[in-house]
Amino acid sequence: MRSQDEKFNYKKERNLSPEDILKVLLDALKNYETSGEKFYDSADLKRLLNISDSTLYRLRKTKSIPFIHFGKKYFYPKSFFDKKAEG
């Protein structure tokens, strides 16, 4: 697993083999699994908040909600929305 100081620079590494890509993806998934954090995907969040694609985009763009961009998908930490619902 990579430490914080050894972050992988995806933009510089354009000639990755499929094995290298798979290794990077598996490392990322292991990090998320061990964190214990649960996430909503975009469809779940739109359904939960009853908002449109453009509203969700605007919330991401203005950094009003935390998110993780993984490939072409966005994920949103469930804990953030649980805290908002409580208080």
Position 56 in a domain: yes
More confident residue, 18 or 59: 59
Note the pTM of the prediction, 2 decimals: 0.61
pLDDT digits (tens, 9 = 90+) for 12-57: 556 788 888 888 888 777 766 556 788 999 999 999 999 999 999 9
Question: Which residue segment(s) compose the domain that 51 sits in?
Answer: 39-83
Position 20 in a domain: no
- For the chain, how many structural domains are there in total? 1
Position 16 in a domain: no
From residue 72, give the alpha-carbon distance in Å to each of 8, 85, 87. Answer: 18, 28, 32
Position 59 in a domain: yes
- 56-65: average pLDDT: 97
Position 9 in a domain: no
